[in-house]
Amino acid sequence: MIIVTGAAGFIGSCLISKLNQENFNFIIAVDDFSNPEKEANLTGKRIQERVDREVFFDWLDQNYQEVEFIFHIGARTDTTEFDWHIFEHLNVEYSKQIWNRCIEYQIPLVYASSAATYGLGELGYDDNESLVSQLKPLNPYGESKNVFDRWALEQERKPFFWAGLKFFNVYGPNEYHKSRMASVIFHAFNQINQSGRMKLFRSHNPDFADGEQMRDFVYVKDVIEVCSFLMHHRRNSGIYNLGSGKARTFLDLAKNTFYALDLEPQIDFIDTPVDIRDKYQYFTQANMSKLRSIGYDRPFCSLEEGIADYVKNYLSKGHYL
């Protein structure tokens, strides 16, 4: 029996698809199931039971003996939300309760952290745990993830295996419901379909030309491969980056979305909104050497491969993973 929190969301539902492919069919899906737009993410998946996130701990206290692994993917991920109490409840205190029960019930744990913990990258993008207390996230979402990472590292008692994954810019199937928080590729696809053109933010940093701002974009299929690896590995507990390890420009992203649609690129530049300009990241790139050092040797999809697969096999057809 494997528990996935955030089961109806983007990464959680893709992870369930991967687990089903590996013949793990006793899946306990934990989420707030009130959003009908997320329902299609779970259609056709083999799930033993759905448990509302607010009654999950009562359920776990009664059924822990059957649980083999917990993937805690669920979180409030809205970077434009500034009510700290929401993040404190869902991202910090909820995660602490899962952590403590994994200790009590001897259940291994993988949980979702975020590259948002790195802020503007003043200390780089290295998953060195000694740096976690010095990081300066730019918003309450990133702060909530870093608060929990710090707390986890400070604990004397830990689950016998645990891993916190700092997701970088994840894109791919099953993000139809995410509206403004969906990936840039999702928005690019929709803009191009509607207008034949794509808008990118102009650079307000003299070190970067327009469209040359860079991010570490990682395909969700790679993310769930890493999750599966860690579930089977169950050694080398700690916090790990999870990106592709290679920064690419927004211009590369836009052009490849056009190419996947067999169109010539038509790109316009607009000013970055003033209210986010001073917190805008111009470069992120995950140092992936730590994950590699524990034996993860699969290659990551290139941006070209990931976008082609996502656009042609999912977005263009309205398909889900």
Q: Residue 65 to residues 52, 72, 233: CA-CA distances in angstroms? A: 19, 18, 21
b/e 109-132 (16+ beta carbons within 10 angstroms → b) = bbbbbbbbbbbebeeebebebeeb
| Residue 180 marked as a ligand binder | yes
| Residue 168 marked as a ligand binder | no
The pLDDT tens digits for 231-260 are: 999 999 999 999 999 999 999 999 999 999
Distance CA 75, CA 92 (A): 9
Q: Residue 233 to residues 54, 108, 109, 164, 228: CA-CA distances in angstroms? A: 30, 11, 12, 14, 9
The yes-or-no answer on residue 178 being catalytic is yes
- Residue 76: its pLDDT value, please? 83
| Residue 254 marked as a ligand binder | no
| Residue 73 marked as a ligand binder | yes
**Burial status of residue 321 (CB atoms within 10 A of its CB: 0-12, 13-18, 19 or more):** buried
Q: Which of 178, 246, 282, 320 is an active site residue?
A: 178
Rg for the chain, CA atoms, rounded = 19
The pLDDT tens digits for 280-295 are: 889 999 999 999 999 9
User: What backbone torsions phi and psi does residue 180 show, to the nearest 5 degrees?
Assistant: -65, -20
Q: Which of 141, 171, 219, 310 is an active site residue?
A: 141
The pLDDT tens digits for 137-188 are: 989 999 999 999 999 999 999 999 999 999 999 999 999 999 888 999 999 9
Question: Model's pTM, two decimal places?
Answer: 0.96
Q: Identify any residues that bridge with 239 across adjacent strands, giving them in sequence order.
A: 164
User: What backbone torsions phi and psi does residue 285 show, to the nearest 5 degrees?
Assistant: -155, 120
| Residue 204 marked as a ligand binder | yes
The yes-or-no answer on residue 141 being catalytic is yes
| Residue 314 marked as a ligand binder | no
What is the length of the chain?
321
- Residue 259: its pLDDT value, please? 98
